[in-house]
Amino acid sequence: MNISVLIYHIITSLWTRSQYAHFFGNISTLCFFLVYIPQIYMVFSLRSTEGFSLSSAKLKLLGSAFLCVNSIFKGDSLPLILYGFLNTVELIFLLLPFFLFNGEWKPLLYIGVVFIPLFICKFMPELIPFTDYIKPITQLMSNIPQLYQCMKVGTTRYVSMFSLHLHFGGSIFGFMMLIILQNFSFYSWFIYGNSFLQAFSVYIAAAWFGELRFFDAIEEENENENTSDGLNITLFTFNEEEQELDNKSSLDSDNEML
């Protein structure tokens, strides 16, 4: 018997098509549940928002808030509601460092956008079919400011690779689920396809800068920061000593003239 045929029979005998689709769908959902946690860890570990786009986080927060609230009011499945809720909470945590480390208070005010979908769903529920498109639109747009930020600072080191891996993995498993279910819904393919493009585009940028990696170099960045601080202190001390020598030489010259 052909090996490929044997493998096919083994695979099909274990689970049904729907069970495989359910399995891949759950893995995809899990990836998207956790997608921003590595970025949160990186930002708080570095105690810096350098290289991370505030505009990108704002757009994603708006989209996830609409996804969460719309899903609740429409009575969607629990995984979808949790996906929107957890992403909203994670993105709020990504806005906090701009206040904690940069002293910017406006990002805190932006957290209030989570009440906009609540207001619309409560008082204008007829708009829900239209506001359902806010999530994919903001998701598509959110990658542009992040890519711009990477190009501006000339590095992708401040973007979590693990977050990108979760984006990438979630989209791949989502594709597998759709293929097995023979689901050709444009909306579904757009959602997973956009996540794939988000990860892939930053991978390309990382390769362009010669920084393509699997792990996040958080400890290395902290060491570089400490080294930079040490050099600044040394330079400051050297300048002080040089100034003292200049003052002493000037004083000696004045004494000689006297």
* Whole-angstrom distance, CA of residue 41 vs CA of residue 233: 28
9 within domain boundaries: no
Tell me what pLDDT residue 228 has: 47
Going by pLDDT thresholds of 50, 70 and 90, the confidence category of residue 235 is: very low
Residue 114 · residue 88 · CB < 8 Å: yes
52 within domain boundaries: yes
| Domain with 66 in it | 14-209
Tell me what pLDDT residue 129 has: 93
Tell me what pLDDT residue 143 has: 92
Instruction: List the structure tokens of 173.
Output: 């498993």
163 within domain boundaries: yes
Check pLDDT > 50 for residue 191: yes
Tell me what pLDDT residue 239 has: 55
Going by pLDDT thresholds of 50, 70 and 90, the confidence category of residue 59 is: very high
Taking Cα atoms as reference points, which of 68, 57, 69, 43 lies closest to residue 110? 57
Tell me what pLDDT residue 5 has: 67
Check pLDDT > 70 for residue 211: yes
Going by pLDDT thresholds of 50, 70 and 90, the confidence category of residue 16 is: confident
181 within domain boundaries: yes
Check pLDDT > 80 for residue 99: yes
Q: What is the mean pLDDT of the chain?
A: 85
Instruction: List the structure tokens of 242.
Output: 């040089």
64 within domain boundaries: yes
Q: How many CB atoms lie within 10 A of CB 110?
A: 16
118 within domain boundaries: yes
Tell me what pLDDT residue 91 has: 96
Q: What is the pLDDT of residues 173-183, one digit of tens each?
A: 999 999 998 88
245 within domain boundaries: no
Tell me what pLDDT residue 185 has: 82
Indicate the pTM of the whole model. Answer: 0.80
40 within domain boundaries: yes
Going by pLDDT thresholds of 50, 70 and 90, the confidence category of residue 248 is: low
Domain total in the chain: 1
